[in-house]
A and B are shown apart, each in its own frame.
Chain A
Amino acid sequence: MRIRPALLLNWTLPVLTLVAWEAFGRLGLLPRYLSVPSEIAAAFWEIALSGELWVALAASLWRVSAGFALGTAAGVAVGLGAGRVPAVRRFFDPLVSFLFPIPKIAFLPVVLLLFGLGHASKISIIAFSVFFPVFVAARHAVLSINPLLVWAARNMGAPPRTVFFRVVIPAAAPELFAGIRIGLAHAFIVLFAAELIGSKAGLANLISYGEEWVRFDLMFAGIVCFAALGFVADRILMAVRRRVLRGQLIGTEEQPA
Chain B
Amino acid sequence: MIASAARLIRRWYSIPLLLLVWQAVAGTGLVESRLLPSPVQVGSVLFAEIANGELVYHAAVTVARALTGFALAAIVGIPFAAAMARSAVWRNLFEPIFLLGYPVPKIALFPVFTYIFGIGAPSKIAFTFLECLYPIVVTCLLAFRGIQTRLIWTAQNFGAGRAAVLRRVILPAALPSIFAAFRIALPVAMVVVVLTEMIGDSIGLGYYITIWSTRFSFSNVYAAIVTIGLCGFALDQGLLLVRRRAVYWQREAS
Contact = CB atoms under 8 A, between A and B. Distances in A.
Interface of A: 5-6, 9-14, 31, 33-34, 90-95, 98-99, 101-103, 105-110, 112-114, 181, 184-185, 188-189, 192-193, 196-197, 203-204, 207-208, 211, 219-220, 222-223, 226-227, 229-231, 233-235
Contacts of B143: none
Nearest to B12: A94
Contacts of A235: 103
B109 interface: yes
Interface of B: 10-15, 18, 35, 88-89, 92-97, 100, 103-112, 115, 187, 190-191, 194-195, 198-199, 205-206, 209-210, 213, 218, 221, 224-225, 228-229, 232-233, 236
Contacts of A101: 187, 190, 229, 232-233, 236
A91 B195 CA distance: 29
Given A9-B92, A9-B93, A106 B209 contact: yes
Contact of A94 (B11, B209, B210): B11
B225 A231 contact: no
A233 B97 CA distance: 18
Contacts of B92: 5-6, 9-10
A13 B94 contact: yes
Contacts of B89: 9
Specify the main secondary structure of chain A where it touches its partner.
helix
B194 A105 contact: yes
16 contacts: A6-B88, A9-B92, A13-B97, A92-B14, A101-B190, A101-B236, A110-B213, A112-B213, A192-B107, A193-B195, A223-B111, A226-B108, A227-B104, A231-B100, A231-B103, A235-B103
Considering residues B94, B198, B224, B232, which has the most beta carbons from chain A within 10 angstroms of its beta carbon?
A: B198
Nearest to A230: B105
Given A106-B209, A208-B111, A98 B105 contact: no
A240 to B, nearest CB: 14
A106 B199 contact: no
A14 B96 CA distance: 9
A13 B228 contact: no
B229 A99 contact: yes
A234 B103 contact: yes
B93 A106 contact: no
Given A10-B95, A31-B115, A193-B199, A106 B105 contact: no
A230 B15 contact: no
Nearest to A104: B191
Contact of A189 (B18, B107, B210, B225): B107
A91 B221 contact: no
Contacts of B232: 101-102
B122 to A, nearest CB: 16
A109 B97 CA distance: 35
Contacts of A219: 111-112
Contacts of A95: 14-15, 18
A230 B103 contact: yes
A109 B232 CA distance: 20
Contacts of A222: 108
A219 B225 CA distance: 31
A222 B105 CA distance: 13
A76 B12 CA distance: 22
A224 B221 CA distance: 33
B213 A109 contact: yes
A211 to B, nearest CB: 6
Q: Which of B92, B111, B209: most chain A Cβ within 10 A?
A: B111
B108 A223 contact: yes
